[in-house]
Amino acid sequence: MAPDLELRDLGTTGLRITAVGLGTWAMGGGGWEFAWGPQDDERSSAAIRRAIAVGMNWLDTAPAYGTGHSEEVVGRTVKGLPRAPHVFTKVSLRWTPDRRIVHSLKSESIRAEVEESRRRLGIDVLDLVQVHWPDPEGDIEEGWRTLAELKDAGKIRHIGVSNFDVGQLERAAAIAPVETLQPPYSLANPEAEKEILPYARAHRIGVIVYSPMGSGLLTGSMTPERVARLPQDDWRRRDPDFLEPRISYFQRLAALLAEIGREHGGHSAAEVAIAWTLSNPAVTGAIVGARSDSQVEGFSGALSFRLSGKERDRIEAFRAENH
């Protein structure tokens, strides 16, 4: 890893991670309920290798991404690296034979998922396992207790949650400490800054946010024409943020981010969007997805780029004017 890259403490886990980690959702490929369309495995592996080469020291994946395929790609690729990154995965989403996603927090299901992830990833002790969604909500305690037991058994080093609200965090914490939290957070979806992030900071929970570029909305490259050309199984074709009138707002916001990036010698709008999430003191790191090594290059500057107070004020003024 580059010696000048900042490392951040992930809550109380003892893990020190780079400000940006690679997300592997799209690497699961097409043909399942929340796919991003078809994906070539060699391009996925190239993206992983490039992410590690530029200094990222962690990857985010999940069994549900491609119904196991993303973890398989990660496992094969990581096995061949001279320096293994931290690999973070999840539980609670299973799938039917026709690749439809179903939720389960039952103990038997959680235990099976962990064993399957260990096998697909080729990792004996998983660095971090997070509850993907708090659903069914009535089973939160059962699922969380099971993860805590698997940690005690030495199969998992650290446990966390994703997409939990404050009340759900407190329910889990009554059983075992919540070490990490993974919420969506971006200029396209800033809701976490109201309650979730302040709570996490107050309780020393490590936070790794997902979709910091708004799933492409904040890159400057997402237009109505491009949305219309997305694969039929790309979930963004159906999302209101990617349709008018919302997409026009995000195009204007992305133009502002690009302007700020140019003032710093050519940083991309994506890198500025990521830097905005990292400027929140509760946020430890940001998960950024990529489907190729060139896409990794497009946001790798976010590993070290930081916004000034004045630049953040410019962005906040835009948000206020366009609310």
The alpha-carbon radius of gyration of the chain (Å, integer) is 19
Selected catalytic residue, list 65, 185, 199, 210: 65
Residue 25 near residue 62 (C-beta atoms within 8 A): yes
What are the C-alpha distances in Å from 273 to residues 53, 176, 202, 245? 22, 34, 25, 21
Cα distance between residue 316 and residue 45, in whole Å: 37
- Pairing between β-strand 93-95 and β-strand 101-103 as defined by DSSP bridges: antiparallel
Q: Is 65 designated active site? A: yes
Burial of 190 (0-12, 13-18, 19+ CB in 10 A): middle
E-assigned strands of 57-106?
58-60, 86-91, 93-95, 101-103
CB atoms under 10 Å from CB of 152, counted, come to 10
Cis status of the peptide bond prior to 184, with omega within 30 of 0: no
- Element at 209 (helix H, strand E): strand 206-209
State the Cα–Cα distance between residues 207 and 71, nearest whole angstrom.
Answer: 22
User: Catalytic residue positions?
Assistant: 65
